[in-house]
Amino acid sequence: MEQFEPVVVAFCCHYCAYTAADMAGSKRLAYPANVNIVRVPCSGKVDAIHLMKAFEKGADGVYVAGCLEGDCHFKNGNTQVARRVAYVKRLLDEIGIGGKRLEMFYMSAGMGERFARIATEMTEKIRDLGPNPVKSALNKKKGKAVA
Amino acid sequence: MITAERKPLEEIIASVKPFQRILLVGCNECVTVCAAGGRKEVGLLASALQMHFMTEGKTIDIKEITLERQCDPEYVEELNVHMDQADAVLSMACGCGVQEIARRYREKPVFPAVNTKFMGASERQGVWAERCQGCGDCLLGLTGGICPIARCSKRLLNGPCGGSTTGKCEISPEVDCVWQLIWDRLKALGMQDRYEDITPAKNWQTGRGGGPRKIIREDLAE
Amino acid sequence: MMKNQDTMSSHKKILVVGGGIGGIRAAMDLAESGRDVVLIDKSISIGGLMTQLDRTFPTNNCDLCTISPRLSEGGRQERIELMTMTEVKTVSGEKGNFTVTLSQAPRYIDLDRCTACGDCYKAFPECVTFSPGLDHRAPTCMRYPQAIPQAYAIDMQKCQDVEALENICKAGAILPQQELKMTELDVGAVILCPGAAIFDPSGLDHFEYEKNPDVVTSLEYERILSASGPTQGELVRPSYGKNPEKIAWIQCVGSRGIQKGAASYCSSACCMFALKEAMVTKERFQDSIETTIFYMDIRTFGKEYEQYRERAENEFHVNLLRSRPHSIVGDAATGNLNITYTTDNDGLSKTEAFDMAVLSTGFCIPDDIKDMALNMGIELNAHNFAKTDVFSPVSTSIPGIYACGLFESPKDIPETMVQASAAACLAARETHPAVNTEEDTTKNLPERDVSNEDPKVGIFICDCGLNIGGVVDTQSLADFGKTLPQVAVSQVVGHGCSKVAMDIIKQTIIDQKLNRVVIGGCSPRTHETKFQDLLKKAGLNKYLVEIANIRDQNTWVHADAPQAALQKAQHLIRMAVTSVKCSHPLTDHSLPMNKDILVVGGGVTGMSSALSLADQGFKVFLVEKTAQLGGIAKNIQKTIEGQTVPPFIEALSKKIVQHSSIEVIFNAFIVDHTGMPGMFKTGLQIAPQMYYRQIDHGITILATGALQNRPNEYLLGEHPDVMTQLDMDGFLEKTPDRIKAMGTAAMIQCVGSRCPDNPDCSRVCCQSAVKNALRMLDINPDMRIFVLYRDMRTYGFLEDYYLEARKRGVIFVRYEKDNPPEVEAAEKGVTLSFVDPILGKRLSLSADCLCLSTGLVADDESTEDLAMIFRLQRTRQGFFLEDHVKLRPLDLSTPGFFVAGTAHSPKNIKESIADAQAVAGRAQALLAKNTIELGAAIARVDSNKCAACLICVRACPFDVPFINADGYSEIDPAKCHGCGVCAAECPAKAIQLMQFEDDQILAKLDGLLERMVA
């Protein structure tokens, strides 16, 4: 059977994590193509609903990446979203999707290496967890193979 | 404000499981303010339910709507247009809202998605605490503006019990002894003599003791 | 509007030498005020020293995100011509009319063509530099992504095969024929901010810096801490690669005349630097690492820096050890560094083993900067720094040439920013601003109304040479784009950011009547503005474009998996298309600008800023609550440098009163304030009749000063021979005979400062004590003077005076905070009793007079009122809180509000005047425009949905939302920072952040995931 290729969504704040992702690019640090970035001005902009909808629409893993603690361009958006992430993790556990599919990370704009490492680790972790149950159940029903 | 918190998802899921088309109704009043049943919580619950049922290989139709106030019939009327397409209603309002929908739409099953908790105030962002029990005979004027009925574990009216230690209640070290608070406040106001006044046994008839209550403003009521 | 046009040579440029943080600030301020600037730097990109710091005190932030928009603005500003690898050779002429020759070393790269793709670096790493970033020794996080210009440089000498190098560049950007270029330029003024060098400790063999890899300088340690440093942020010993468990910092290396070749001055920033490094070490790595700082005096004299030290000691458990270590000796057997030192209490020599030692090396002026200055003919001081005067802190000996930052004196970043803005303010006077400072919109087509059109999307895919095209088939990507709904055009455009491609895109938008645009290319971080400008030129609202980052975040990182890269590129394009369809035209918020200025406070600071602005023709209202000008400085007779203050104040006051553009309003109190940025209305009540008057203004400068602290300690106010240093200042001048009659004087430092009531250091008292001691000795050379102190904080060149005082016999005795001196009234004078830490004994001393160094405290009453009326933040001690302690030290959070002088924090006259000129510089940048621009990314509240729950009010990091009179949340677009926290928290979903609305974000998820779940 073909290896499962998860789809991972990364909400990245403009000032740190998104810049770190660009930095990984500049340094040509390879990481799995499974990670897709959604840019937000501040990680604090990421709503619990965005996280839920990402899973509902079929993402296998989601993470939010903000500035290092204390470094948020907007003072504390990163710590505010961290609480939301913890809340949604519990919610995901409750409905059987699994809170482990959602994570919060912190990085500075210069941490291209860290961005690439997290992207790799997160992809591996989600690969181990297998497809989002939402997706697999639906696909099974339709008789489609898992992409 | 009336406070509430979302029920465990398991319970909500069990209640709506038999139905295919669900009308999920939020309320833009108290439950929005205490982050239990406003537009955002409606969105989150809809998504959570949808996902849960998907994992069971089933899709359900959830219609999300948030009313200005679920405890007023005129606002509830706005649900008319959606009722035909719903097999059941899931309300995120307090118990008043759930009952108002049940009263208006007798043929539809209505389920609560939140547990209504108490009348309270927000201590800070994300923290709400009980402040009033609606006893119907307010005595805050005697107690320095701090309610011993809502905030004393034993509802004592004349000073603390023997379980008050270092300003805390014997129930839990997290809970302030309300009589300590009352005393401190009276002292700050220079009204210690009030403490000496004995409050007679309370007539609970004005509260729930007298059965379900109703207020009628004759000048307003038709 | 402008006066003195005849004396100003219009259209002259201003030369800014040095592209560090100060140079960038000065250039930005000048450019914003409509002046054309040439910014030169001798290295291959701008950024200077600050870009090498991992984190900066006192916030311990990396501040990258704060500096990065600044740097890219610096690169973008049309009025700034940036010349890297350039030095100034000669300067001739005079103020308003200089001729300078610049020599620019060849970069061998055509900056217009280089796309920073890195192909040349990959093939020829030996001769290609991208100074920061890719060089693994380069310290910081911030260098690479923000490097301006974003291009490489080539060292031709090291290049073996020039032809092959030339061929590798697809953009044809390599120019082997480039030569050293000399340019002659007419400029109106010159600002020098070339920075300084760091003391080289190689010669200090007792510290084994050269020999032992575990002995590093503080800047090297910064690189070890840094995420993109040599160890990628792992803290390891350079020798073993193991984690250190004990680290020592040694202060004053190269400063305070301690070692061979060291300068005599204090480098001002190293104490904070060491504290920061020690704290970050504890915070980021492990708390178990022992950190010890060996110091002489801990000099945390900046705003709230003393509290920072407290935190370091009490919360982070950084050991502060008052000792000057004798030596660092490496032990080959154990690998330890043995540090030998002595402490006061027992006087015994101890040896302690450490794993690493960090030398806190100070600043010095390198020969090349010294030579440049001497070539220009400007006077340097004894330490080779630019010579400046107390009353004109950034003016050099040549009129029209200004100095700021480290080149003026050792200092930290906020003070550099202040001086840079001050220099910009003064330099601007020599040239005329351009007539039209507004954006040139003539090239734009009128904006087409697309609100009633269905989305019609055009996709343009860049191949960026091989950067994208070499990994994915861009044509097939474009073909994929055509299959997406509502896409009218999808094509490959080569280098999308090249002029040719931009023209094609523009024409296609117009011809095909596209109303949404997707660019598949590089990062929106660097190129969004460029494409937004393009849309404007094509007659579309600039917010109708979305950039899919298929290079930096796709082909560059997935080159090893081209199939996956193509698939991901498709996802990214589809995400951009679904999202751009949800976008709608937005207006950048702008508000008209009233050009009048309100200055609150008629002290030296208020007067100096009023004068700086009025001299440029602006109308200034100077409001003073008393009946006279001069403020607290009226009580000061002399500065430590020896200048007399009263004539200066007198002359300044006279100019103010006589100035036709300044209206002084005495006896006035501020009572109300309304309006928004650009158009404020402030109400005054004016004594004695207390009549009411309202002033319209666009700029507010708070120069309300501070108060002399008079705590009830040590018989102050009870005994005639006990006085403050400020009292003594006048006493010395008025009654020298009484000084002559004295045998012994004593001074006690930190009275009412650095204590629980007032945890801050008052900054000015150590210098006042030294100043008064020297003046006493001038009058009565035989006098015995004792100064009881905790840490002597004579920072910068003030150290010279401290040294002089010691040489002339002033006795400095340290006391501990927990064991302060005791004072009793005696028959004549007072008797002091204190413990001498070296003798370890309690001594008693009779003194004819006792001076208490009480410093300055915030005028709590008036700052509290003003903070309430103007809705401003204050520090716990009652000083106004600036917008950014490091980079915007005088800007307040409301645009158009500034603080200067001692209302910001205690400071001396020279520093206050620099502040005053700096706020004038910052103000004039705003005043040059007719509107204040606020951008479009602001949060909007839907009042119908709002439940007035206060969650946004509480969640906003900037306290912007409030519940208005109509009972719903209101967010002032002028104050919103655009983070979107409120939108994410709102339980009623009543708030949307423009540009990042929920439906746009969800559309992106749809675009990415639509095939996953059908």
Dump pLDDT digits (tens) for B61-70.
Answer: 999 999 999 9
- Listing DSSP states for C851-879 in one string gives EE---EEE-HHHHHHHHHHHT--B-TTSP
Q: Provide φ and ψ at C610, rounded to 5°.
A: -60, -45
Q: What is the pLDDT of residue C50?
A: 64
**DSSP 3-state assignment of C925?**
helix
Q: Which domain holds residue C959?
A: 938-993
Residue C747 near residue C786 (C-beta atoms within 8 A) = yes
| pLDDT value at C139 more than 50 | no
Mean pLDDT of chain C: 88
Q: Is C568 on the interface with A (CB under 8 A)?
A: yes
Q: Is B68 on the interface with A (CB under 8 A)?
A: no
Nearest CB among C951, C989, C1013 relative to B39 is that of C989
Q: Which residues of C touch B55 (CB under 8 A)?
A: none
Q: Do B9 and A91 touch (CB under 8 A)?
A: yes
Nearest CB among B40, B43, B48 relative to A95 is that of B48
Give the pLDDT confidence of C181-218 residue by residue, as tens digits.
999 999 999 999 999 999 999 989 899 999 999 999 99
Lowest-confidence region among B152-156, C400-404, C660-664, C677-681: C677-681
* CA pair distance C34, B152, nearest whole angstrom: 68
Give the pLDDT confidence of B33-89 residue by residue, as tens digits.
999 999 999 999 999 999 999 998 888 999 999 999 999 999 999 999 999 999 999
Q: Do C502 and C382 lie in a common domain? A: no
CA dihedral C58, C59, C62, C68 (to 10 degrees): -100
Residue positions counted in chain B: 222
Strand bridging mode B114-124 / B2-6 = antiparallel
Q: Give the list of residues 6+ apart from residue C976 with CB closer than 8 angstroms, or none.
A: C938, C939, C958, C960
Q: What is the pLDDT of residue C55?
A: 60
Residue positions counted in chain C: 1014
Q: What is the pLDDT of residue C583?
A: 94
Q: Do C55 and C162 lie in a common domain? A: no
Nearest CB among B47, B54, B56 relative to A53 is that of B47
Show the tokens assigned to C316: 């982070």
Question: Min CA distance, A78 vs chain C (Å)?
Answer: 9
Q: Cα A99 vs. chain centroid, distance in angstroms?
A: 12
For C840: left if phi > 0, alpha if psi spans -120 to 50, otherwise beta; the answer is: left
Q: What is the pLDDT of residue C57?
A: 58
Q: Return the domain boundaries, chain B.
A: 2-118, 133-201
How many structural domains comprise chain C?
Answer: 7
Strand bridging mode C246-253 / C356-361 = parallel
pLDDT band at C232 (very low <50, low <70, confident <90, very high): low
Q: Which domain holds residue A94?
A: 8-142
Give the pLDDT confidence of C381-429 residue by residue, as tens digits.
999 999 999 999 999 999 999 999 999 999 999 999 999 999 999 999 8
Cα angle for residues C793, C795, C799 (degrees, 5° grid): 90
Residue C215 near residue C425 (C-beta atoms within 8 A) = no
Give the pLDDT confidence of A130-146 residue by residue, as tens digits.
999 987 766 665 554 43
Percent of chain C scored above 90 by pLDDT?
Answer: 67
Query: Closest-CA residue in chain B for C950?
Result: B33
Q: Do C204 and C348 lie in a common domain? A: yes
With CA atoms as reference, report the closest residue to B178 among B198, B158, B196, B192: B158
Nearest CB among A49, A134, A140 relative to B51 is that of A134
Lowest-confidence region among C21-35, C180-194, C557-571: C21-35
Evaluate whether residue C68 is within a structural domain: yes
- Chains contacting C with at least 3 CB pairs below 8 Å? A, B
How many structural domains comprise chain A?
Answer: 1
Nearest CB among B33, B54, B66 relative to C949 is that of B33
Lowest-confidence region among B98-102, C24-28, C237-241, C902-906: C237-241
Q: Cα C154 vs. chain centroid, distance in angstroms?
A: 31
Q: Give the list of residues 6+ apart from residue C133 with CB closer than 8 angstroms, or none.
A: A23, A26, A27, C143, C144, C145, C147, C228
* Topology classification of domain B2-118: Rossmann fold (3.40.50)
Q: Do C553 and A25 touch (CB under 8 A)?
A: yes
Show the tokens assigned to B106: 């007798």
Nearest CB among B40, B122, B124 relative to C987 is that of B40
Nearest CB among A52, A138, A141 relative to B44 is that of A52
Q: Do C957 and A75 touch (CB under 8 A)?
A: yes
DSSP B20: S
Strand bridging mode C37-41 / C80-84 = parallel
- Chains contacting B with at least 3 CB pairs below 8 Å? A, C
Top pLDDT among C600 and A15 is at C600
Q: At what angle do helices C645-658 and C604-614 cross, to 10 degrees?
A: 40
Q: Do A45 and C979 touch (CB under 8 A)?
A: yes
- Tell me which of C59, C522, C1005 to substitute to probe the interface with A (most A C-beta atoms closer than 10 Å): C1005
Evaluate whether residue A2 is within a structural domain: no
Give the pLDDT confidence of A56-95 residue by residue, as tens digits.
999 999 999 998 877 787 888 999 999 999 999 999 999 9
- Chains contacting A with at least 3 CB pairs below 8 Å? B, C
Question: Min CA distance, C951 vs chain B (Å)?
Answer: 7
Amino acid at C843: L
**CA-to-CA dists, residue C119 to C114, C552, C653, angstroms:** 11, 14, 63
Give the pLDDT confidence of C593-652 residue by residue, as tens digits.
899 999 999 999 999 999 999 998 999 999 999 999 999 999 999 999 999 999 999 999
* CA pair distance C237, C289, nearest whole angstrom: 13
Q: Do C220 and C252 lie in a common domain? A: yes
Q: Do C838 and C891 lie in a common domain? A: no
pLDDT mean over C270-281: 93
How many helices (H) and strands (E) in chain C? 26, 49
Query: Closest-CA residue in chain B for C984?
Result: B40
Lowest-confidence region among B5-9, C462-466, C612-616: C462-466
Q: Do A57 and C1012 touch (CB under 8 A)?
A: yes
Q: Give the helix/strand (H/E) hosting C607.
A: helix C604-614
CATH of the domain at A83: 3.40.50
Amino acid at C108: Y
Q: Is C141 on the interface with A (CB under 8 A)?
A: yes
* CA pair distance C701, C908, nearest whole angstrom: 19
Evaluate whether residue C450 is within a structural domain: no
| pLDDT value at C792 more than 90 | yes
Residue C609 near residue C659 (C-beta atoms within 8 A) = no
Percent of chain C scored above 70 by pLDDT?
Answer: 91
Evaluate whether residue C932 is within a structural domain: no
Lowest-confidence region among B25-34, C240-249, C990-999: C240-249
Give the pLDDT confidence of C62-100 residue by residue, as tens digits.
554 455 444 455 444 678 888 888 999 999 999 999 999
* CA pair distance C479, C486, nearest whole angstrom: 14
Q: Do C996 and A40 touch (CB under 8 A)?
A: yes
Q: Which residues of B touch A52 (CB under 8 A)?
A: 43-44, 47-48, 51
Evaluate whether residue A95 is within a structural domain: yes
| pLDDT value at C568 more than 70 | yes
Q: Is A140 on the interface with C (CB under 8 A)?
A: no
Query: Closest-CA residue in chain A for B53?
Result: A134
Q: Is A91 on the interface with C (CB under 8 A)?
A: no
Q: Do C490 and C548 lie in a common domain? A: yes
Residue C445 near residue C53 (C-beta atoms within 8 A) = no
Q: Is B56 on the interface with A (CB under 8 A)?
A: yes
Show the tokens assigned to C312: 């370091």
Q: Do C65 and A67 touch (CB under 8 A)?
A: yes
ipTM of the prediction:
0.95
* CA pair distance C416, C429, nearest whole angstrom: 20
Nearest CB among A32, A49, A109 relative to C65 is that of A109
* CA pair distance B204, B206, nearest whole angstrom: 5
**CA-to-CA dists, residue C790 to C257, C814, C816, C820, angstroms:** 20, 5, 6, 9
**DSSP 3-state assignment of A141?**
helix
Half-sphere exposure of B215 (CA within 13 A, CB side): 7
CATH of the domain at C270: 3.50.50.60
Q: Do C276 and C339 lie in a common domain? A: yes
Q: What is the pLDDT of residue C8?
A: 44
- Tell me which of A19, A79, A127 to substitute to probe the interface with C (most C C-beta atoms closer than 10 Å): A19
Residue C16's DSSP bridge partners are: C39, C191
Q: Is B55 on the interface with A (CB under 8 A)?
A: yes
- Tell me which of B2, B39, B54 to substitute to probe the interface with C (most C C-beta atoms closer than 10 Å): B39
Strand bridging mode C962-963 / C969-970 = antiparallel
* CA pair distance B5, B92, nearest whole angstrom: 9
Within 14-33 of A, beta carbons closer than 8 Å to C belong to 14-16, 18-19, 21-33
Q: Which residues of A touch B52 (CB under 8 A)?
A: 95-96
- Listing DSSP states for C4-57 in one string gives -GGGSEET-EEEEE--SHHHHHHHHHHHHTT--EEEEESSSSB-TGGGG-S-BT
Mean pLDDT of chain B: 94
| pLDDT value at C577 more than 50 | yes
Q: Do A56 and B44 touch (CB under 8 A)?
A: no
Residue C458's DSSP bridge partners are: C489, C517
Amino acid at C581: K
Question: Min CA distance, B30 vs chain C (Å)?
Answer: 9
With CA atoms as reference, report the closest residue to C610 among C251, C836, C923: C923
Amino acid at C658: Q
pLDDT mean over C457-476: 91
Q: Cα C283 vs. chain centroid, distance in angstroms?
A: 24
Q: What is the pLDDT of residue A139?
A: 67
Q: Do B38 and C955 touch (CB under 8 A)?
A: no
CATH of the domain at C475: 3.40.50
* CA pair distance C250, C207, nearest whole angstrom: 10
* CA pair distance C231, C223, nearest whole angstrom: 8
Amino acid at C661: S
pLDDT band at A6 (very low <50, low <70, confident <90, very high): very high
With CA atoms as reference, report the closest residue to C407 among C426, C375, C381: C381
Q: Do C947 and B43 touch (CB under 8 A)?
A: no
pLDDT mean over B90-103: 97
Q: Do C230 and C333 lie in a common domain? A: yes
Which of C316, C344, C364 is the last residue before a domain boundary?
A: C364
Peptide bond into C149 cis (omega under 30): yes
Q: Positive or negative, the Cα torsion across B65, B68, B71, B74?
A: negative
Q: Is C123 on the interface with A (CB under 8 A)?
A: no
Q: Do A22 and C1004 touch (CB under 8 A)?
A: no
Nearest CB among B8, B9, B56 relative to A137 is that of B56
Half-sphere exposure of A12 (CA within 13 A, CB side): 26
Q: Which residues of A touch B11 (CB under 8 A)?
A: none
Residue C82's DSSP bridge partners are: C39
Give the pLDDT confidence of B147-202 residue by residue, as tens digits.
999 999 999 999 999 999 999 999 999 999 999 999 999 999 999 988 888 889 99
Within 29-58 of A, beta carbons closer than 8 Å to C belong to 29-34, 36-42, 44-50, 53-54, 57-58
Residue B178 near residue B151 (C-beta atoms within 8 A) = yes
Question: Min CA distance, B67 vs chain C (Å)?
Answer: 10
Nearest CB among C60, C232, C568 relative to A33 is that of C568
Top pLDDT among A2 and B206 is at B206
Evaluate whether residue C391 is within a structural domain: yes
Q: What is the pLDDT of residue C121?
A: 76
